Structure 1
Amino acid sequence: MATAKTDTTEPSTATPASEDTLKITLASSNLIKSYMVASVAASAVPMPLFDIAAVTAIQLRMIQKLSHLHGKPFSEGAVRSILMSLGGSVVGYGVGAMAASLIKVVPVIGWAASMMSLPVMAGASTYAIGQVFNKHYAEGGTIFDMNTDNVKAFYKEQFEKGKAMAAEAKAKTKETVAAAA
């Protein structure tokens, strides 16, 4: 005699993400990607150290916009401290970026050499920083309670992901410039 099998599992109580959450997720993703591309472009400026200042300004503005998007307070001083801490967490990034920027003083060869790595590193850093702040804000944090030691592993992971994305953005920028010429 066959018996009917009954399902005694309860229906899922998980609620779909709210429309506001989805809007914030989409907007923050687009914002981070656009600022990553801006960092790639800014690092191509052939003036030593200007590129680092420009990328830092781009990152500050991105974090300010992410803060506003998530309804969180923004403090440039607090963010600068976080940026310095995170930038040093990728071995050699800060020193490498400075060296790549300074090598631009060597005519032609220096600028060409810096173009090999600096745009990708700047874009990757911007992407990773954006992802760190976005995740921290989405989890309810603010810039005032971010513990950089707790987010360094996530930053490094996102930096690696950002390198691939920035390399793609750099290639597309080259194609666009070549097509316009």
Structure 2
Amino acid sequence: MLDQPKNDDGKSAIADPALSPEARQVRAHEIIRDHVLISMAAGLIPAPGIDLGAALANQLALLARLTKLYGVPYSENLGKSVVGSLMASSGGTFAGGALSLTLVKFVPFIGTACGVIAMPTVLGAYTYALGKVFEAHFEDNGTLLTFNADRYRDLWHKMLKRGKTEAASMKDQAATAAPKAS
């Protein structure tokens, strides 16, 4: 008898057979949305570098949740590796932009304000694109071990653009829903 694939925590990595493909996609969308919001909140952290660290931890948690949903074995080290390969395959321009925004937070007052204003959308867009790329990869029966960033480069760029729109929309919705100060 073959052993079932396991995650880092030793738990089985078998997908829930009760979920239809449509229900699984809906659940994947919910998971991605939740993690986009968390990444956007991380972008509000005024301390340079802490924002990126929090976003990376959140993105690894996103990967862990998606692998569980799709019954794919998860390893944090492998998760870090595939996130890094995806970032590298995109030419590093997006990562450079996020790094620039976190570094601008070192400038007192105006730099911090600019970074806190722009960073939520940037981190939200990256998290959205990451989630959508891995959703597509797992839908194609891929695993973290079989991930090829070059294969998903075009989808990555498309989802990054869509992610900027989605994150900006979420930011606007949050601002509208926030109680008005009297």
Please report the TM-score for the alignment, with normalisation by the length of structure 1: 0.84
The aligned counterpart of 1:119 is 120
Aligned counterparts of 2:173 and 2:22: Cα–Cα separation in 1: 28
The aligned counterpart of 1:173 is 174
Aligned counterparts of 2:32 and 2:180: Cα–Cα separation in 1: 26
Aligned counterparts of 2:19 and 2:165: Cα–Cα separation in 1: 30
The alignment's C-alpha RMSD in Å is 1.8
The aligned counterpart of 1:8 is none
Question: Counterpart of 2:21 in 1: which secondary structure?
Answer: helix
Sort the Cα spacing of 1:74 and 1:47 in 2 relative to 1 into closer, same or farther, 3 A: same
Q: Which has the larger radius of gyration?
A: 1
- After TM superposition, the structure 1 = structure 2 runs for residues 4-153 of structure 1, keeping only pairs within 5 Å, are 20-88=20-88, 89=90, 92-153=93-154
Query: Per-residue deviation at 1:151?
Result: 0.7
Which 4+ residue blocks in structure 1 deviate beyond 2 angstroms? 172-181
Aligned counterparts of 1:25 and 1:163: Cα–Cα separation in 2: 21
Aligned counterparts of 2:75 and 2:154: Cα–Cα separation in 1: 24
Query: Per-residue deviation at 1:19?
Result: 5.5
Aligned counterparts of 2:46 and 2:131: Cα–Cα separation in 1: 25
Please report the TM-score for the alignment, with normalisation by the length of structure 2: 0.84
Read off the aligned partner of 1:69 and give its amino acid letter. L
Read off the aligned partner of 1:114 and give its amino acid letter. G
Query: Per-residue deviation at 1:32?
Result: 0.4
For structure 2, the residue ranges without an aligned partner over 5 or more in a row are: 1-17
Read off the aligned partner of 2:37 and give its amino acid letter. V
> Is 58-67 or 84-93 further displaced after alignment?
84-93
State, as a whole percentage, how many aligned pairs show the same letter: 30
> Is 47-56 or 92-101 further displaced after alignment?
92-101
Aligned counterparts of 2:114 and 2:174: Cα–Cα separation in 1: 18
Aligned counterparts of 1:31 and 1:107: Cα–Cα separation in 2: 35
Aligned counterparts of 1:180 and 1:75: Cα–Cα separation in 2: 45
Aligned counterparts of 2:38 and 2:141: Cα–Cα separation in 1: 28
Is the CA contact (8 Å cut-off) linking 1:128 and 1:162 kept in structure 2? yes
> Is 77-86 or 49-58 further displaced after alignment?
77-86
The aligned counterpart of 1:6 is none
For structure 1, the residue ranges without an aligned partner over 5 or more in a row are: 1-17
Read off the aligned partner of 2:144 and give its amino acid letter. I
Question: Counterpart of 1:107 in 2: which secondary structure?
Answer: coil
Read off the aligned partner of 2:174 and give its amino acid letter. T
